[in-house]
Amino acid sequence: MANGIRPCFLSPGQEREFESLVGYARGGISSCGEDHARLALEGLVPLSHDIGAIIRCAKADLAVGERP
């Protein structure tokens, strides 16, 4: 599991979806920067997830060198 505080999830499916979004954000941050990643997520993220939490987890993962 990646570093960074993860939220609690209502189901395993919701957790998998969140982790997929974190991976997408990691790639966006690495290649285009945080602002671009945040804007891209705004078009993808359902109401069940917090974009700020996704970005925080992605940045924490990158800080420890974790790759998707």
Query: Is pLDDT above 70 for 1?
Result: no
Q: Is the pLDDT of residue 2 over 60?
A: no
Apex 9 CA angle, 8 and 15, nearest 5:
115
Residue 66: closest CA among 14, 23, 20, 11: 23
Q: Where are the alpha helices (DSSP H) in 1-68?
A: 12-32, 34-44, 51-63
pTM for this predicted structure = 0.78
List pLDDT tens digits, range 23-61. Answer: 999 999 999 999 999 999 988 886 778 888 889 889 998
Whose CA is closest to 58, among 31, 9, 14?
31
